A and B are shown apart, each in its own frame.
Chain A
Amino acid sequence: AQSVTQLDSQVPVFEEAPVELRCNYSSSVSVYLFWYVQYPNQGLQLLLKYLSGSTLVKGINGFEAEFNKSQTSFHLRKPSVHISDTAEYFCAVSDASNTGKLIFGQGTTLQVKP
Chain B
Amino acid sequence: DGGITQSPKYLFRKEGQNVTLSCEQNLNHDAMYWYRQDPGQGLRLIYYSQIVNDFQKGDIAEGYSVSREKKESFPLTVTSAQKNPTAFYLCASRTQGASTDTQYFGPGTRLTVL
Q: Which residues of B contact A44 (CB under 8 A)?
A: 43, 90, 92, 105
> Residue B101 contacts which of A36, A41, A94, A106 (CB distance < 8 angstroms)?
A94
Interface of chain B, helix or strand or loop or mixed?
A: strand
Given contacts A32-B101, A51-B99, A102-B103, contact A43 B58 (CB under 8 A): no
Interface size on B (CB < 8 Å)?
A: 31
Q: B98, A102: Cβ atoms under 8 Å?
A: no
Q: How far is the CA of A32 from the CA of B99 in the complex (A)?
A: 10
Q: A102, B40: Cβ atoms under 8 Å?
A: no
Interface size on A (CB < 8 Å)?
A: 27
**How far apart are B51's CB and chain A's nearest CB, in angstroms?**
11
Q: How far is the CA of A101 from the CA of B92 in the complex (A)?
A: 11
Instruction: Give per-residue flags for B1-43: 1 if the beta carbon is below 8 A from chain A beta carbons, else 0.
Output: 0001010000000000000000000000001010000001111
Q: How far is the CA of A44 from the CA of B102 in the complex (A)?
A: 12
List the interface of chain A (C-beta within 8 A of B): 4, 9, 32, 34, 36, 41-46, 49, 51-52, 90, 92, 94, 96, 98-102, 104-107
List the interface of chain B (C-beta within 8 A of A): 4, 6, 31, 33, 40-45, 48, 50, 56, 58, 88, 90, 92, 94, 96, 98-108, 110
